[in-house]
Structure formats: C-alpha cells, structure tokens
C-alpha cells in the first residue's frame, strides 16, 4: 500500500502544492523561494527518507511568515493523510543529534492528539538567515504538530552557533519521523494503541 499524499493550499497570501511519500528515497524537488527554509527542509527529507515535491509561492515581499506557517499546515496535513489508519506503524520516534557544540533531541508521537513543546535556546532572539526570521522555525513546528495531529517535543540541550541549532532541529526531526512512521513487522496488522484506535 502506497503511503503518499498530495495537498494543495491556496489563499490570498500563499499557493502551495505538496506531495509527500513516506516510503521514498530522500528526494526533494520543486521550488521554495526561501533559501534557508529550503535548506532546513532538505535535512528533514534527507534523514526521514521521505520524498517531498513542493512548489511554494508566497507574499515574501512582505515577509516569510505566511509561507512558513502555511507550509507547516500543508506538510502536517500530508503526513496525517499519508499515514491513513496508522496500522502497523511504530508511532513513536525519538532522536538525539549532536552537531558540533550543539545537542538536540526531537521526540514525536503520532497519537492523533496535537501538542507542541519547545525547550532550549531562544529561537526568537537569533535574527535573520537571509530573508528567514529565526522564530519562524517555531511557527513551522507548531503548525506541523497541529495538522499532523502529533505530539512534537523539541529540546535543544545546549548550543551556541545559531545555524547549528536550527539545523540540528530539522535533522533530528527527520530521524524521529523516520522511526515513527516505520512499519513494525511484529505488529504489522495492529493499531499501535491499547485503545485500538488513533
């Protein structure tokens, strides 16, 4: 069974077309006019082993907020749709990633219940990466957790280099998602919940 979803979102502020394949080969294609954000997403794709096709247009002449927020919405919707009934998945994933002086843990639960927690260095005080405001990483993660209907906990244990901090988050997110969506061959026909549903 293919675990693929295509989502389109059009508003007065953004136009997004996204296709997500959970059983891909870490391929990313399409256009994203926000270079730093595209760079970060490429890390998530690389380590999740998802395939992501994305065409994003937004009112970046104002700022990048609407584009990044709506990308979190669409990515989350695609992830939730591609998972279907979630039969056989591990459901949980957690990864601690070192990146030079930075250490970050990302933990997910594809529970059907959205919740987002961030702890660590303030991302709001890190300025810009080109046209990308550093606090937009929190906006993306929050909207992703809501629309994927998942618990998402991010802990930056320590770090100094602001690029390393952001990059470690997106890389660890990829690894955690890879674990969570993987099929548990010992329970391939079961919903991973004592409730019998997610």
Identify which of 150, 156, 95 has the alpha carbon closest to the alpha carbon of residue 126. Answer: 156
CA gap 24, 53 in Å, rounded: 11
Q: Kindly list the domain boundaries of the chain, sorted by start residue.
A: 4-187
8-state DSSP, 64: S
Q: Could you read off the pLDDT of 122-145 as tens digits, one per residue?
A: 998 889 999 999 999 999 999 999
CA gap 115, 113 in Å, rounded: 7
pTM of the entire structure?
A: 0.96
Topology of the domain comprising 4-187:
Ribosomal Protein S5; domain 2 (3.30.230)
8-state DSSP, 88: T
CA gap 4, 23 in Å, rounded: 8
User: What is the chain's pLDDT, residue by residue, as a tens digit (198 residues)?
Assistant: 799 999 999 999 999 999 999 999 999 999 999 999 999 999 999 999 999 999 999 999 999 999 999 999 999 999 999 999 999 999 999 999 999 999 999 999 999 999 999 999 999 888 999 999 999 999 999 999 999 999 999 999 999 999 999 999 999 999 999 999 999 999 988 888 888 777
Residue 36 to residues 41, 93, 133, 182, Cα–Cα distance (Å): 9, 25, 10, 28
């Amino acid at each position: 069974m293919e675990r693929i979803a295509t989502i389109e979102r059009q508003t007065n502020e953004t136009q997004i077309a996204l296709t997500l394949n959970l059983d891909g080969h870490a391929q990313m294609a399409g256009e994203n006019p926000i270079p730093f954000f595209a760079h970060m997403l490429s890390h998530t794709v690389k380590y999740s082993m998802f395939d992501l096709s994305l065409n994003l247009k937004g009112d970046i002449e104002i700022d990048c907020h609407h584009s990044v927020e709506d990308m979190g919405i669409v990515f989350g919707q695609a992830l939730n749709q591609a998972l279907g009934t979630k039969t056989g998945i591990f459901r949980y994933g957690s990864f601690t990633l070192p990146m030079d002086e930075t250490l970050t843990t990302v933990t997910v639960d594809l529970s059907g219940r959205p919740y987002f927690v961030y702890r660590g260095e303030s991302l709001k005080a890190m300025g810009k990466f080109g046209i990308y405001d550093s606090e937009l990483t929190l906006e993306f993660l929050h909207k992703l957790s809501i629309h994927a209907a998942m618990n998402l906990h991010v802990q930056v244990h320590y770090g100094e280099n602001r690029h390393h901090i952001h990059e470690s988050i997106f890389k660890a997110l990829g690894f955690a998602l890879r674990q969570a969506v993987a099929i548990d061959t010992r329970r391939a026909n079961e919903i991973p919940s004592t409730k019998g549903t997610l």
